[in-house]
Structure 1
Amino acid sequence: MDIDTLKQRLGRPATRLVAGGFRPTEGVDESWLGRVYLFAPDEDLPLDAAGQPMLPIAQFHLPSLIPPTPSLDGVRVLTLFMSRRFPEPFEPMGDNWLIREYGEHDTLVRKALPVPDSPLKAFPVKPHPVERDCPLWDGGGVPLELEREVLARMRAGEIESYYDLTTHCYEHKFGGFPSFCQAGVEPQEGFEFVFQVSSDAKINLNVVDSGSLLFWRHPQSGEWAFYYDFY
């Protein structure tokens, strides 16, 4: 396997999401961090296990995010809510975090439902395609075959480090690979990594200590899995 092939096989396309820097349209095709304004007609803010409104973390218009996410075929809008206290890693969805999915034919209405004293600042996000997002060497995700190829090239002196071959997006993103801070921990087999929301001073989000909120989805069951870690 030559170096160019190895580089290509290590990476996946992703979409980096950058908050702010442009005037929002407030349209139904716009993605946001720190704000959700699209709901089904009968929906309100979800409540957490303590009966308090969850914080609106994100609203994503999926057709605008490149590349398409196969496990979300048919989903047009996705919204994310979370309790003020972060859920436990891999805690089931419902009591302290919630993702809502809306298809092409679902009716959505615009609602202004602010959460009192929310620490989050709302910004629209702009997608930036990433050609190759690669797994972290010590975070898991590098297939054994490719790991052996990388180690062989290091022993041969062709490269000094795995990171001579790869790039990784640590920011908000759809697709690619999760940005683990510690050694990677993934949900049970069959789940596919979908997106992450990372610590960001602009939206006033700090995941404990510069960590990221990581989300996987099972393409057959539609079940979501959530994990986070930090430095």
Structure 2
Amino acid sequence: MKSVEEIYKELDLHLRDASVAQIGGFRPPEDKITSWFGGQGVGLSNEVLPTYKGRDMFCLLQVKVSELPVIPPELGSAEFLVIFINREEFPFDKPHGEGWEIREYKSLEGLQLLPKSEEPDLVKDFPIQWNKVEDDAPDWENAWDIVDMTPINESDGEDEKFFYDYSRYSGTKFGGFPKCIQHGHNLDGFVFQIGSEEKLNWMWADNGIAYFNKSESGEWAFECQFY
């Protein structure tokens, strides 16, 4: 069996790069075809806001992919993403298109602000800058998917390093590892997470985090964990 030190060295080799959102704190750009939280959302001239149960959904997040310092391979040739959420309920574990929707665009050409909804704003809108991190670590359960954690698990106190010396980013990010709350999350096709962002006045249930995965066939999946 490998030693605890060897397991930590092996784990260090699996740390991931990620693009972590910095929300506001800088002069907003005039260009709206860029990364933002909230706002009207963008789309093509023939598109409108998606609806759910007779009400307009809202743009929670839009991302200009070229601004990401770390671009997950699942995004392929996408140039722009817009993530919409409904106003009625958190669409936990519902399929794409039922209470939540991601629109992908392979070109920025023709993108413009969508018609503004008459519904009240649910989140404050802020521009985003993306910061690269190179040390995003998995949580306990996901670490077992990568290395055999048995030596650490059976050691006397050697697990403190795992919980206190590694960085795990709980905010909004693309790439890296999902920052889990209740249990491990499926690493296959994990693309990004959206955190509960106080500055936006946005929270998933009780300070939760939403995770978005994309399958090889291009289908999106949404899950959420919370306290």
Q: Distance in 2 between matches of 1:173 and 1:115?
A: 30
Q: Which whole-Å deviations, capped at 9, do the CAs of 1:48-96 have from their partners, x for residues lacking one?
A: 1x11000210100011112121111100000000112334432111121
Asked if the contact 2:196/2:202 (under 8 Å) is kept, the reply is yes
Asked if the contact 2:69/2:130 (under 8 Å) is kept, the reply is yes
CA gap 1:45/1:54 in 2 versus in 1, 3 angstroms = same
Match of 2:44 in 1: 40
Q: Distance in 2 between matches of 1:4 and 1:113?
A: 51
Q: Distance in 1 between matches of 2:47 and 2:217?
A: 23
1:53 paired to 2:79: no
Match of 2:193 in 1: 196
Give the stretch that moved more between structures: 169-178 or 3-12.
Answer: 3-12
For 2:50, the aligned partner's letter is P
Q: Distance in 2 between matches of 1:115 and 1:142?
A: 48
Q: Could you state the TM-score of these two structures normalised by the residue count of structure 2? A: 0.87
Q: Matched residue pairs, number? A: 223
Structure 1, unmatched stretches of 5+, are: none
For 1:143, the aligned partner's letter is D
CA gap 1:208/1:159 in 2 versus in 1, 3 angstroms = closer
Report deviation, 1:111: 3.4
Asked if the contact 1:135/1:142 (under 8 Å) is kept, the reply is no
Q: Distance in 1 between matches of 2:211 and 2:199?
A: 19
1:228 paired to 2:200: no
Q: Which whole-Å deviations, capped at 9, do the CAs of 1:78-127 have from their partners, x for residues lacking one?
A: 00001123344321111210000000365312335245212210000111
Match of 2:85 in 1: 82
1:100 paired to 2:97: no
Q: Within 5 A, what are the aligned runs for 1:77-156? A: 77-104=80-107, 107-138=110-141, 140-143=142-145, 145-148=147-150, 150-151=152-153, 154-155=155-156
For 1:162, the aligned partner's letter is F
CA gap 1:176/1:149 in 2 versus in 1, 3 angstroms = farther
Q: Distance in 2 between matches of 1:123 and 1:105?
A: 20
Secondary structure at the aligned position of 2:149 is classed as helix
Overall identity of the aligned pairs, in %: 31
Structure 2, unmatched stretches of 5+, are: none
Secondary structure at the aligned position of 2:120 is classed as coil
Q: Could you state the TM-score of these two structures normalised by the residue count of structure 1? A: 0.86
Report deviation, 1:148: 3.0
- Out of 208, 212, 215, the position equivalent to 1:215 is 212
Match of 2:65 in 1: 62
What is the CA RMSD across the aligned residues, in angstroms?
Answer: 2.4
Asked if the contact 2:47/2:114 (under 8 Å) is kept, the reply is no
Secondary structure at the aligned position of 1:170 is classed as coil
Q: Which whole-Å deviations, capped at 9, do the CAs of 1:130-179 have from their partners, x for residues lacking one?
A: 101111114x3532634235446x45x66634225521001111111112
Asked if the contact 1:36/1:59 (under 8 Å) is kept, the reply is no
